[in-house]
Structure 1
Amino acid sequence: MAKLTRSTHPAPVFPEKILQFGTGVLLRGLPDYLVQKANSEGRFEGSIVVVKSTDSQTNEFSEQDNLYTVAVRGLQQGKEVSENTIVSAISRVLAAQTQWNDVLVLARNPKLQIIISNTTEIGLNYVEESIFQHPPQSFPAKLTAFLYERFRSVGGSKAKGLVVIPTELVTDNGLKLRDAVEKLAQFNELGKLFTKWLKFHVRFCNSLVDRIVTRPTESAQQLVQQETGYQDDLLTFTEPYHLWAIEGDDRVRQTLSFAGPLTPQIIIDEDINFYKERKLRVLNGTHTLTMPLGYLLGLETVADEMLHPAMSRFIESLMLKEIVPTVPDYGIPGMDKAAVEQFANDVLDRFRNPHLDHLLLNISLQQTTKMQARNVATLQRYYEQFNTVPNLMALGFAAYLLFMKAVREEKGQFFGEIALPSGGKLNYPIRDDKAGYFYGDWKTVKERTPATVQAFVKSVLSDTKLWQDDLTALPGFSEAVAQHLNSLLTLGIVKTLEGAVE
């Protein structure tokens, strides 16, 4: 089977308008995909130069003339979606380790307008280093070196400023990156004129990306190749839903001409907190409150949860009845209760997607920190609105406590245990910084002794270091969690769940 190349699939070449730090699937499946859509509709007509920092190998791109396919698979408003799009928006992929001079030359390109990044979550951290290395080590230092070269080549021109959009999953990612660049400019003594140009003519935008993008399984890759008739080693698999919210003003809107009325998936607004809050509470919060129960049932993926009758009812009721009502309503179209409800229904479609293997065990990483960040405010808001116990949240919290019960420790790693439906037991890793804390506290719980369960739950919920508040102050919540946990321990997972969603 022939490989995907420009000789087999000719594509137009556009001026290089975007510099992108990162070659990962998220960038390929969201920003690059959206630029491709705009190019094909004549709304942007620009290409992307990609910088790869992890190693100097770019053969996988060059062998395919920088083409790749985005395979969209899943459900949208209950209907099956299947679409293959060849993305030709990338013009070059440069290895930072061996082609740093070529990256700096790009800084002099007058048509360049935008910089996008997706490194790691710690990739935006400030590291004190010289930007004159070839290349600098950290991403903020690479970006500072690039911007300084841009400043020198354009003489501080206002017209040659840039819009920088980090997509790392970090709160206020644009502000954090700007802060690191400003500190590097000061450390490297780049001068007041550069600092002024940076402040007034380089716009750093906070942004939020929301799309599950993966590499395909071997069987999925074979199926797509049979459909397309070519081999694609860069095949990118993704769900239909996608959103890119960018904090920006009119200048940002004008520069990002690939956004607009024809791409409602790209939102440019001076305040994107509504979209961040909606995703955090409805999507991420539901994951965190439901994962432990699903995994303790012996399920492996989110799609498995949605195929389980009782578990799917639990997820839908928890999300729609207890979480959605607590999300702040801005009272304007697109940022109101109807928008939250629509998003929730979209999320349920995403959870049902049979084409994505979203492993529950992966969701469990640092579960305690996620529970605090995603669900404590939701819980408190529920009490403010309804002044009663959110019963399904209480069950989700109880299941989380049971998931955190380690049965053994090996070299600092803690392991829990579940009974498999087929018989036997399975050990699972508890990848949580608080695993040792719970390992000690669970030893105070005596089997079939409700008083010890109640004392354990009260101790955990009152720990303000964990939750940044005392959750026992919420009337009836501690008692409800203890009752559910006692039921999970005595009646089992299935009966407890079925009793809660009758």
Structure 2
Amino acid sequence: MTRRLDDRTLETLGAEIERPRHPRTSLQTGIVHMGLGAFHRAHQAVYTEDALNRRPGPWGICGVSLRSPETRDALAPQDNLYTVAVRDASGQRLRVVGSLTETLVAPEDPAAVLDRLTRPEVRIVTITVTEKGYCHDPATGALNERHPDIVHDLGNPDRPRTLAGFLVEALDRRRRAGTDPFTVLSCDNLPGNGHVAAGILRRFAELRDPDLGRWVADRVACPSSMVDRIVPATTDEDRAAVSAALGAEDAWPVMAEPFSQWVIEDHFPTGRPAWELEGAELVADVRPYEFMKLRLLNGSHSCIAYLGYLAGHATVSDAMADPHFARFVRELMDEEVTPTLDVPPGADLSRYKAALLERFANPALKHRTWQIAMDGSQKLPQRLLGTIRDRLAAGRPFDRLALGVAAWMRYVGGRDETGQPIDVRDPLADRLAATPAPALFGVREVFGDDLAGNPAFTTAVTRAYDRLVAVGAREAIQTIR
């Protein structure tokens, strides 16, 4: 029987498999990561692993799941080791990552999470909780003070459920103990993610205690960052293939493409790992990078997800193998998104877009359109609607973007083009399913007040929606010009 991946089996792995080169047994935990999922393990944990291999330091990661124990249950018996399988058309390359020192499950033991966050040696908290984890209004970025979990956390600071509840309670404990605050580094796909994080933490703290709110505003650094790597969900087939190639059972490996990028606002008052030694870009202003990525990659991904799913494509690469989809995405980038961008200094935009098309077409990843389509009510404001607002302000057309929004409207209705049910995963799923398509413009959390009242926007999207219903997604894409 194949042995489980753990510290003891590391030395038995084949020479072609990369493994930790830093002393894991003495690795101190200096980072807590909130939202332990596949993306973090394929991205920030890998950058930290590379930094530790080059320059050892007290930067081990405690991973915290805010929901399910599944990741902890898979990784704890493996000494928190796991495999990253980098896949493209040429094959698969494996590496075992060892920067994760422990895993905690917040709903099981919130006291343990608060204890870890309060320890003086923890100097950075990184975040990948997805857009909905911020408990904010996606249209404005403000804390949703009526969110039931926020209401709970304000009344039960020792038993929090939310990101804001955990971080503010830990910061208050550090303040009262005279311990420096940790730096909060958001790694989610939100424009100005550091500013969003700072805003929700400050407001939550103010609601608890005005003095605490001022201390959080004055003392807690919240740099922004832009992250980029395609990380599809791991399947049972992936587990079996990786374990066979590894020669040891890995209960939860992660799959990833070769490309990876991390752009970070360099503001860490109490220190950070040497992430830049392995390719992270430390800059003064992340905004040009994040807009380029959010609008080109994430915006295109959402359009492919909704239109591709409706057209019967299970994966992004399946959709991109259709020349009409490939043309649609290329023209979306070139004609509607690119004119809205403030391109970062030195960036080769043509090369970046060509690389995106190649990445989308990678057949080895099998990135499911259904996975990308999740939580659209939280994603559309950042991925599509900001670009549409800029196109409206410039008096320019946005037919492809409108078709993407219309496809989301049809998708959340819960039936595909053949009448089969769609498993819609969204915080507003029930409300969206019960709302007729034209009335979805009134969902303020998505469209705000401005777009709902803009006839140029509503007319374009309604026309696109009617076209989708009449001819289907594939023909609507094929005939759009």
> Aligned-residue CA RMSD in angstroms?
4.2
Aligned pairs (5 A) from 1:140-289 = 140-153=164-177, 155-156=178-179, 160-189=180-209, 192=211, 198-249=216-267, 251=268, 255-260=271-276, 262-264=277-279, 266-289=280-303
User: Does 2:127 correspond to 1:114?
Assistant: no
1:26 aligns with 2:42: no
Q: Which residue does the alignment assign to 2:15? A: none
Q: Decide whether aligned partners of structure 1 residues 2 and 362 sit closer, same or farther in structure 2, where only a CA change above 3 A counts.
A: closer
Match of 2:7 in 1: 6
AA aligned to 1:263 is E
Q: Secondary structure at the match of 2:275?
A: coil
How far is the alpha carbon of 1:325 from its aligned partner?
A: 3.8
Q: Which has the higher contact order (CA 8 A, sep 6+)?
A: 2
Q: Evaluate the alpha carbon distance shift between residue 352 and residue 473 of structure 1 in structure 2; reply closer, same or farther with a 3 A threshold.
A: closer
- Cα 1:418–1:229 change in 2 (3 A) is same
Letter of the aligned partner of 2:330 in structure 1? E
Amino acid paired to 1:37: D
SS of residue in 1 equivalent to 2:194: helix
Counterpart of 1:85 in structure 2 is: 95
Q: Compute the TM-score of the two structures, normalised by the length of structure 1.
A: 0.72
Report the alpha carbon displacement of residue 52 of structure 1 after superposing the two structures with TM. Answer: 3.7
- Deviation string 1:443-494 (CA, Å, 9 cap, x unpaired) is xxxxxxxxxxxxxxxxxxxx996835645499xx96x99699669847x766
CA contact (8 A) 2:107 2:161 kept: no
Map 1:252-401 to 2 at 5 A: 255-260=271-276, 262-264=277-279, 266-329=280-343, 332-334=345-347, 338=348, 340-364=349-373, 374-375=383-384, 378=387, 394=399, 397=402, 401=406
Per-residue CA deviations over 1:73-129 (Å, capped at 9, x if unaligned) read 136xxxx46321211112222344565555455456443321123335343336254
Deviations along 1:406-453, whole A, 9 cap, x unmatched? 9xxxxxx8454536xxxxx75657787666665579xxxxxxxxxxxx
Contact kept? 1:208, 1:244, Cα under 8 Å: yes
User: Contact (CA 8 Å) 2:106, 2:161: kept in 1 or not?
Assistant: no
Output the CA distance in 2 between the equivalents of 1:369 and 1:96.
Answer: 23
Question: For residues 329-478 of structure 1, what are the structure 2 equivalents within 5 Å?
Answer: 329=343, 332-334=345-347, 338=348, 340-364=349-373, 374-375=383-384, 378=387, 394=399, 397=402, 401=406, 404=409, 414-418=413-417, 426=420, 428=422, 438=436, 467-468=451-452, 470=454, 472=456
Runs of 5+ consecutive residues of structure 1 not aligned to the other structure: 407-412, 420-424, 442-462
Shift of 1:7: 1.2
Count residues with an aligned counterpart. Answer: 443
Report the Cα distance in structure 1 between the residues aligned to 2:463 and 2:104, rounded to whole angstroms.
56
* CA gap 1:7/1:185 in 2 versus in 1, 3 angstroms: same
Runs of at least 5 residues in structure 2 that lack an aligned partner in the other structure: 12-19, 136-144, 440-446
Tell me which moved more, 292-301 or 302-311: 292-301
Specify the code of the residue in structure 2 equivalent to 1:285: G
Residue by residue over 1:235-286, the C-alpha shift from the partner in whole angstroms, topping out at 9 and shown as x without a partner, is: 111222223333343x46x8223322x333x333332221221122212322
The alignment partner of 2:327 has SS state of: helix
CA contact (8 A) 2:114 2:166 kept: no
Question: Amino acid of the residue matched to residue 344 of structure 1?
Answer: K
CA distance in 2, matches of 1:361, 1:151: 43
